[in-house]
Every structure is written in C-alpha cells, then in structure tokens.
Chain A
Amino acid sequence: MQDYVVFQDVCKYYQMGEQLIKAADQVTFTIDQGEFCVMVGPSGAGKTTILNMLGGMDACDSGLIRLEDCVVSQLTEKQLTDYRRHEVGFVFQFYNLVQNLTALENVELASEICRNPLDPKEVLEMVGLADRMHNFPAQLSGGEQQRVAIARALAKNPKILLCDEPTGALDYETGKSVLKLLHDSCRQTGRTVIVITHNQALTQMADRVIHLRSGRVAKVERNANPLPIERIEW
C-alpha cells in the first residue's frame, strides 16, 4: 500500500514581530502504511509543526496533507476534531496524563469517545502495566506514565500513532523500552507510527527516516533492514 501519508508542498509560516518564520517550507514526503517512521532534525527544524499539522492540531497555510483517503488540509475545525478523535493517536513528551484519573481511567478517557476502541485493560496489559492500572499518574514512574500515554493512544485504535519526543523526559533504559513498545506495536498491529526525535541514533530502527532542516525536508531515507532497538546504542 503506497502513500498512506502524503505531504505535498506544505507551508506554514509564523509572523514573529517583523520576521517571518518559515516553520514548514514546501514540505513534501510520503509514508507507507505500517511503517515505523522517524523524523529527525535539530531544534526549530519544523518537526513538531509537521506533526501538529498531520495530527490535525494545526492548519497549514498552503499545500496538501492527506492521511489515507482523508485530506486533512481541507478539514473544518469540527471535522479536525473528529479526525483527531478517531484517526490519530498522540504520545507527548510529557505524557500529558490527567492527574486525577487512574491509569486505566486515563486510557478509558480516550477509548470512550472513539468508534472502535480496544479494551483498555488489555491495552494496559499489553504495555506491561497490568498491575498498575489502578494507580494515579503521580504514583507511577516516568516510563510507566509514558506507557499509560501510549496505551491511551493505542486504545483508540487509530490509523496513525504520532509521538513527539516520547523519550525526551525519560532516562536511557526507560526510553529504550518505550521505543521498543512503540516499535513492537507497529510491527504487531501494522499501525503506522511516526516518532519525532533529535536523536540521530534512532534512525537505525526506522523503516523510513525523514531528515528536516529549517522547515524543509533535507532527505528521506528508506531503511530496508532496520535494527532492533536492543542493538542500538547512543
């Protein structure tokens, strides 16, 4: 299946005082279904902007964004909300769990509002938190919290999983295990996963690597034989 995700000449500008910042400048790329894609680039390269636009959190100024047969760049705000609700799963750098809900409830928070949710308990078991599902976020470690966040994203049974620096706030080992979880879920469920990182080492595990620099796509690599995460060191 070709061209699951399509960015075609997508531009996004911000006006900062007198200066026009080109957060995304003629960005063009495609991603196939079921791919584990890593977007790398230094700070300010436009990684998050692109992710936001793909996730329906931000609109582009021009160009085309498409997910499968849905033209994201043409959706109204209300349609964008539904798009986020049903098609996209997000994993944030800082987990963004609702502090006042238990792990299970945080997962339910997402599963309750979408069409074909997975069973929250099963998803939590899958991410290895069967014992901790009744704990509040504050009672969980960072890695565990990120696992809850991933479970929350997966439970929606989304077409695509968008992860913004998912290991940014985690230590090395925990980060690795979280990445493994993401990779596994991609491989096991065939779900397209896009991970943003500034860590070049992670490119080794990706099916497709998109290099960004100053709002432009510098290079797109296909990795025929990605390395398992356990073998990557940084």
Chain B
Amino acid sequence: MSRAYLKSILRAVRQSLARFLAIFAIVALGVGFLAGLWSTTPDMRLSLDTYYDQQRMADVYIKATMGLTEEDIATLSALPEVDSLLPARVADVLVDTIDDGRLTTRVYGLPWTQLNGEQPLAVNQWQLVAGRLPESPEECLIEQGDAYLADLELGAVLRIVTDGENGDLFATTEFTVVGVVASPFYFSNEREPSNVGKGRLEVVIYVADSCYDLDVYTDVYIVSAAATELLTFSDAYEEHMEAFVARLEELGEERSNLRYAEIYGEGQDELDKARAELAEAEEEAARELADAWQEITDARRQLAEARIELDRGYADLAEARSKLAHEKAEAEAQLAEKEQELEQARQELEQGEASLAAALQAGLIGPAQAEVMRQQLDQGWEQYQIGVAALEGAKAELTQQMAEAEAQLAQAELDLERGEREYAEGLRELVKGEADYWRARAEVEAELNSARADIEEAARELEELEMPTWYVLDRNANVSFASFEINTEKVQAIATVFPVFFLLVAALVSLASMTRMIEEERTQLGIMKALGYSKGAIMEKYIGYCGLASLAGSVVGLVVGFRYIPAVIWQVFASMYKLPTLYTPFRWSFALVATGSALLLTMLVTVYACNRALSEKPASLMRPRPPQAGKRILLERVTSLWSRLTFSQKATARNLFRYKKHFYMTVMGVAGCAALLLTGFGLQNSIDVLANAQFNAILQYQLTIDYAEDVSIPAQLEDWLQQQEQVLAYTPAHGERGTVYQEDRKVYTTIYVPQDESSFAQFIALQERASGVALDLTASPVIISETLARALRLQPGHVLAIENADEIKAQLTVAAITENYVGSYIYLSATAYEAAFGQEAKANTVLAQTVPLETAAQDELLSALLQLKDVERAEFIDQAKHSFDHLVASIDFLVVIIILAAGALAMIVLYNLININIEERRRELATLRVLGFHNEEVAGYMFRETAILTAIGTLVGMPLGKLLHAFVIRQAESSDLMLGQSIEPLSYLWAVLLTLVFAALVCLVMARKLRQIQMVDSMKAIE
C-alpha cells in the first residue's frame, strides 16, 4: 500500500465526508449491535461462571433418601474428581416469626467451624451482606431477601414449628438472625418450590449442623475438580458433569447397598431384641396370671370351708337351743313334782293340824299325845319348810342356769352373724378378684398382641425397606441457575434477529453510497482505464475507501457494543436477579466475525459497483453516463388517474420504481425503524397490561390471609374480618401447591377451590381473554390460567396430569382457560376437587378486598392479623405488584434504547438515501430552480418520494413490528408469566408518528442542502 494510495483515499474521505460518515455510522451501528448482542449472553454467562468459581458454587449435590454417613462422606471426598465437599443437613420446615407470621423455611445445618467463619466454606461460599457470623449455635444466618424471599431483619427470632412437617428433626428450635448473606445458590428472584407449607420457599437460613437431631447428613455439596476450568454453560462442562454425575450415581448405588444392609441389619437386630423381649414378657405375664389365679382358687376354697363351718354353727346352735329347752322342761317338771309333793306334804300337815286341833277340841287325845303329835307336826312343818326352801333354791338355780345357757347361745349367734358377714365380704372380694383377674388378663393380652403386631409391622416394614437412593443433582436442579440459563438463552434468541437486520441495511447503504461514488468519478475511472490501469488497481481506491469506513465503524461499534449492550441488558436482568459483577471482555472471535462480515459485505458491494462500471469501455466511461432512462409504470395505464397527476407527482411515481435500490433500502430501513419502535411501545403495552390487568382487573382482592386448614374461617379471624372497617368483603377458599406433569416437564402451579363459587368472581375475575366471556366454575369446573395453558400448550378438553400438595395424583380435563399474566393457577369447583383427589377441599385461605391503604396502614393491618389465633400468613398483593414495578422500569429503559436505535437506523438510512438522491439529481434540481420553481416546490419534488417511501416503509414496518413483538414476547414468557399479547392502537400511532418525525428531521436537515444547490450547476456538462 503506497503512500499515494493512502493519500488518495484520505482525500476522497475529506471530499465526501457525508458519504464516508454514512457508511461509518451504519457499520458502527450494525457491528456494534451485532457484537454487543452476540456477546451479551456469553458475557452474562461468563460473569455468572466467574462468580460461581469465586464462590465455589457446587457443581453437584447429592440428596440421599436415607441420609449420608460419615463413611459415605469420606468415600466421596476420596474420589479424585472431587475437589471439595460440604456435608449438610437440610430440611424445609415451618417457622414462626414475630413480625412476618409463619414462613416456609429451608434450614441448612452446616459444620460449625465453617458457619462461624473459622474455616472458609468448602462449597457455596456466601458473601456477608449485613450483620456478622454466628457465635453460638442459637444464632443463624439468613439468605438475603428479594421479591420472594422474606426480608427479615437482623435480630429477628425464628422458632421452628416442632409439630409441623419435619419439625421433629431438630435439637435446637429457636434461632436469632445475626447476619444476612448472599449465596450463589439463591441469586434469582424466582421462587424455589418446597414440599411444606404453601409450597414456596420464603426463607433460607443457615445454622450449625448440631442443631439437627440427626446422626447422618441429608445432603452433600460437591465442587468437582476439573469443572472449575470449564465454563458452566458450555458443552464441555455439560459432558464433564454428565460423566461425573454418572460416576456419583454408580457410587451412590454401591453406597446405598451398604446403607441398606446397615439399616436392614440395625432393623433386624432391633426386631430380634423386640421379639426376645416379647417372649420374656409373655412368660412373665403367664406366670403372674397363674399366680393370681391360684390365689383366687385358694380364696374360693377357703370361702367354701367357711360356709360349711358357718352352717355347722347354725346347726349346733339350733341343737343347743332345743337341748336347753328340753332340759328346762325336764327341770321344771321335776320342780313341779317336788312342788306337788310339797303341796301334798303341806296338805297332810294341815290335815294333821286340823286333826290335832279337832282331837284337842274333842279332847280325845291328851296333852301329851297332843304334844307328841305337835312335835310330829312341827317336824313335818320343818320338813316342809326345808322342802320349800330347796324347791325355791332349785327354781333359782334353774333360772340362772337357763339364763347362762341363753347367753351362751346368743354369743354363738353373734359369732355366726359375724362369720356370715366375713363370708359375704370374702365372697365379694373373690368376685372382684376374679373380675380383676380377667381384666388384667385381657389387658396383658392386648398389650402383648399390640407388641406382637408392632413387631410384625416392624418386620414387614423391614422387609419392605426401600433401597436408599442418592439423588445426584447438577446445577440444572438449582432454580436460580436454571432460570438464569433460560433467560440468557432468550436474550440469545432475540440477539440473533436484530443485528443481522442492521448488517443488511449496512450493506444496502454501502451499496448505494459506493455506486454513487463510482458514478461521480466515472470519468476518472475511464481515464485510468484508458491509461492502462488494471481493474484491480482502479478498484483499490474504492475498496480502500469503503474498507476504511467499515473498519473505523467496526472499531467504534465493537468498543461501544461490547461494553454497553451487555451492560444495558444486565441492568434489565437486575430486576430478576441479585447479579454479580459483569465482565465484558473484548471477544476477538465475535469481533472478527462481526467486523469480517461487515467488511466483506461492504467490500463485496463495492466490488460489485466497481465491476459494473469497469465493465464498460474506457471511451464510454469517459462520456457522460446517459441518464437512467425513464420508464412507464403500471399506474399510467389508469389514464383517468394518471392524467390528473401533476408532472412532479408523475415524476415521483416513476422515480419510486426507477431506483429500486433506493426503494428497498428506504423501505427496509424505515420499516425496520417502525418495527423496532412498535416493538418497543408494544413491549411497554405488554408490561402495562400485565401490571394493570393482573393486579387490578384480574386479581380484585388486595389481601390474602392463610390460616390452619379448616372447613370454616377461625372464629377470631371471622370476627376480625367483620369488624374491620377497612375490609370490604372476603371469601374463603382452599389453596395449595400443585405440580403439573407433562412428559418430562414439571410445572408448579397453585390450586384454588373457592368455597363460594358464585361470589368468587368478585375476587378473581375468571374470563376468557379473547372473547371477554366470564367463566363460571359451576359450568366449567376446571379452569386453568392462560400462563399454564400456553406453557404446556393446553386447550379446553385436554387432560392434564397433576399432583396436589398431599402427593395425590389426578387427571383433570380442562374446561376453560382464564386470562392471567402472573403466576400459574388452576381453579377447581369443590366437587371437581373432591372427584379428582378424593378428599374434601378444606378452606385455608381468605381473599379479602380492602379500601385503598398506604404501606404503613397495610403493615399495621398485617401485624394485627398475625396476632390472631390460627392465622399463619397474611400478605397484600401490592408486595407482588412492587416487584413488577422493577420489571416495568427496566422495560421502559429498554424501550428508550430501542427508540434510540430505531432513530439512528432511520436517520442514517434516510440521510444517506436523500443525500444520494440529491447528488444524483443535482442537475435536475438545478434545472428546476432555473425554471423558476420555488424552494418549497423543489423540496416537495424531492421529498415527496421520501415521504411515500417512508409511508410504505412504515406500513411494512407495522406487521413486521407485530411479528417482532410477538417473537420477543414469546421469548420472555414462562409458565409463570404471560405478557400482554396485543399492541395498543396508540402504540401504532406513536410508532408511526415517531418514524415520521425521524424522517421529517432528516428532511429538514436535507432541505438546507437542497437550497444550497447552485443553479449554475445546470449549465455544467455531465461529468
């Protein structure tokens, strides 16, 4: 390359700076966009990979169904592929907080020395965002809050709900938050699913692993030795990880077998021990029962004996009584006999007396005789008196004897009575004893039976013991990673469309510019050819000129594009992720390809333009080029219309078709500009729809309150709801997490079963989007959200496989699809729910409408709510809405970028086109001025063409923009997010207006140039 060559190029640049700048600018724009958009995804991925490497993000983690033993860990760490690992105990639990209610929390139990910072974390190193590291096991770290993770403050106290799911796993159940960390494992704002609570993770905390009441680890996080070298999204990494995962799975099987044997052995031992214990217990029970029975038997015998004795007692008594009576009678008879004898004796004595007295009276007997007789009589009386005394004595004796005997008998009777009582007592005791015995016996047997059943159950369980499994999960199982990967993929998909378009326009602009340049220097070309220069030598200058413009444009485009385009998109991503530092290296391969293709394209068109000119003979080249001939166009056949046109309209009409290059370039450029603008404004519409329709039109409640599952609202809550003036209306519903399966896809969704189907529509509008027809759960018992329907391509009538929170699987036939933009929902009627899952849908959520409230008032209401019994959670949907405000803001930002790009594109293309047009028709325009055309008329003649082309371009741009918009929207959608599908009429208007404004601006600039055309130019010979 000689100095002269360079000089001639530089001179050419100076002479036609506008043209040079046009090529420079469009190439800069094209290459900048191309390189920038191309490198965006790699840059973002590189940045994440760098962050991952710095934080030692796990490549793989293992979840073992039966836990991991120290031996497992030791085996793992001995693997050469393993760089470092971190065993952990992980469980999802419900946690009570003071200010935020009941939260679904993932608790990581980590080695104490790594938790307190004595040693660096082996894997998944966090960055301490606030507070400090724990100093005691009662302290914990918390993952940084975001749109979904709750934002707890330092000092907050977390209490694990021990009677909740997994609540029994813990030795320590109360923790104080002392630090906030950002872990590479949780950098996305996307919700992590959880199998407890409402199915979405709300808090992640890190505690000492000793807080778990577990001997084994549940998870182990592993950094692979070689993977650090590889870019995490690359195929090489993928391949490497596949092999590594396979290796770990193999090991997992091996270790699981051992673990199985271990658990089985332990179980068997325990079972044997239990069986022995049972046998012992059985024996003892039998012995004790026998003893008891013996006692009872003894008692019964004793009682029988006592009975006999008693009976005998009664007999003896009776006998004694009769004997006594007999003896008494006998004694009385003897006494009576004696009395008679005495009576006789007395009578005899009295007769003797009387005889004596008579004898005396009669004197028959002397005194002596009388004396003797007296004596005899007195003797008799004496005898009699003695006899009476003896009788009296005998009588008294008898009476005494009788009394004594009676007393003895009475005593004996008393004794018998007591004996009887004792006997009755004994009998009662016996009966009770017997009952006790039987009861005890039944009890013992029941106990033993249950023990036997337990053992049998345990034995069966042991036999059914599932093989332990290692779930080896790579980074794809990490929600943050997967989401980032998908979203960067979306960027890549979008990134390939725009820049190609820009490059094509760049090629067109160069073609037009270079053709014009060669036209202008036609004569010079002819002279050089005539002088004997070769084609190549002549071309050199133009190739150099165009190459210089392209190269300079490329360099500027690369420098700006590489640096700023990824940064802008990174900024947009910041609403979705807690992002690390962005790295924007200069990517030589992209730079070379982008610059190369730009250079190649522009040079090819230059060569093409040169060739066309140089194929002419030198002589004809040196003659002025015959002006491009006019041609008749189709429109002229419509004579009635054609004849009404003025000459300049006719000229314009013909010109449109005369310069096809200009036509296509302008239409493409303007269409691109209009399409870009429409896409930008459409994106804004789509997001606005999402924010407005979702949070105002579709979700018409403001507050959700979750409570412990019940059929009716807890009384306290109901009272509160009715008393609160700020609460306008409410409805209870059943809400739970569901998982929809489709082939190998798994989509998380929320199932709602309203208790009052008729009033539910007042809280969540169920309606078909296209038709606006309201949907009714009674008529269509299974309504799914459009987000879900689109993600899984479901139509009414299709069947979806779903699993509810209790892991009951069911098939649902979609009855209707309801408009929905954020989140994925399935609305079921109570009967449909019961039919599908075989259980009642118990209400556990209240949707409430409130008066508009400030944040402070909302917080006040929430804390009042959370103090109510049974209320687990309460949330205003404003909180969800706020996170979308970020998205809206970043889209607005993107729209500005798009408008700027579109403007730049339109300006460059139109400027270049008009510039060339003016250059080409300088003589014509000068002639018009000489003929007395006013400036406006000349401008009109010139710009009418531009205006029509702009109009055509704008028109073409509208469907193009709609397509582009649909494409971009489609890329951005997920099962949790649908963007507004339609573009507002106002956006079309704005896109058209702005396009026209850009065009008008260019025309305004060019009008000045038009005025500067010298009329004397009309005199000049055609050079």
Contacts and interface: CB of A to CB of B under 8 A. Distances in A.
B949 to A, nearest CB: 15
B932 A101 contact: no
Nearest to A169: B1021
B629 A92 contact: no
Interface string A87-125: 010101110101111100110111011100000000000
A138 B647 contact: no
What DSSP secondary structure best describes chain B's contact surface?
helix
Contacts of B934: 78, 81
A25 to B, nearest CB: 19
A99 B627 contact: yes
B1015 A100 contact: no
19 contacts: A48-B1019, A57-B929, A57-B1016, A58-B1015, A58-B1016, A81-B932, A81-B933, A82-B932, A84-B932, A92-B927, A94-B1022, A96-B926, A99-B924, A100-B654, A101-B630, A102-B630, A113-B931, A136-B629, A138-B626
Contact of A101 (B628, B647, B933, B1021): B647
Contacts of B651: 98, 100-101, 105
Given A81-B929, A106-B647, A113-B933, 9 more contacts: A52-B1015, A58-B1015, A83-B932, A94-B1021, A96-B923, A96-B924, A98-B928, A112-B647, A138-B626
A85 interface: yes
A92 B1018 contact: yes
B644 to A, nearest CB: 13
Interface residues of B, number: 33
Given A84-B931, A100-B651, A93 B1019 contact: yes
Q: Which 7 residue pairs are nearest across A and B when measured between Cβ atoms? A: A85-B932, A138-B629, A84-B932, A136-B630, A100-B630, A96-B927, A99-B627
**Residue picked from B626, B630, B646, B929, most chain A C-beta under 10 Å:** B630
Interface of A: 48, 52, 55, 57-58, 78, 81-86, 88, 90, 92-94, 96, 98-102, 105-106, 108-110, 112-114, 136-139, 152, 156, 164
A66 B648 CA distance: 32
B879 to A, nearest CB: 66
Nearest to A162: B930
B475 interface: no
Interface of B: 626-631, 646-648, 650-651, 654-655, 658, 923-924, 926-935, 937, 1015-1016, 1018-1019, 1021-1022
Contact of A99 (B628, B1015, B1016, B1019): B628
A196 B630 CA distance: 30
A98 B942 CA distance: 13
Given A81-B933, A81-B934, A84-B931, A96 B1018 contact: yes
A112 B644 CA distance: 12
Most central of B631, B650, B1021 by chain A CB within 10 Å? B650
A194 B932 CA distance: 19
A164 B1019 contact: yes
Contacts of B1018: 92, 96
A110 B658 CA distance: 22
Given A92-B1018, A136-B629, A114 B647 contact: no
B960 to A, nearest CB: 30
B930 A112 contact: no
Contacts of A152: 931
B1021 A93 contact: yes
B655 A100 contact: yes
Contacts of B1019: 48, 52, 92-93, 164
Given A98-B651, A98-B924, A100-B651, A138 B932 contact: no
A6 B658 CA distance: 45
A52 B1014 CA distance: 11
A138 B933 CA distance: 24
Nearest to A136: B630
Contacts of A94: 923, 1021-1022
**Interface hub of B646, B647, B651 (most chain A Cβ within 10 A):** B647
Given A94-B1021, A100-B655, A108 B629 contact: no
A60 to B, nearest CB: 14
B946 to A, nearest CB: 16
Nearest to A78: B934
Contacts of A96: 923-924, 926-927, 930, 1018
Given A99-B628, A109-B647, A57 B1015 contact: yes
Contacts of A90: 930-931
Contacts of A84: 929-932
Contacts of B937: 113
A55 B630 contact: no
B646 A112 contact: yes
B927 A98 contact: yes
Contacts of B927: 92, 96, 98
A164 to B, nearest CB: 6
A150 B1022 CA distance: 19
Contact of B627 (A57, A86, A113, A137): A137
A82 B935 CA distance: 11
A101 B650 contact: yes
Nearest to B923: A96
A73 B627 CA distance: 35
Contacts of A136: 629-631
Among B648, B926, B937, find the residue whose CB has the most chain A CB atoms closer than 10 A: B648
A85 B933 contact: yes
A138 B627 contact: yes
A57 B1016 CA distance: 7
Contacts of B1022: 94
Contacts of A138: 626-627, 629-630
A105 B629 contact: no
B1016 A52 contact: yes
Contacts of A88: 932
B932 A108 contact: no
Contacts of A81: 929, 932-935
B106 to A, nearest CB: 76
Given A84-B931, A84-B932, A99 B1021 contact: no
A86 B1018 CA distance: 19
Contact of B930 (A57, A100, A101): A57
B1016 A85 contact: no
A9 to B, nearest CB: 23
A92 B931 CA distance: 11
Contacts of B647: 98, 101, 105-106, 108-109, 112
A90 to B, nearest CB: 5
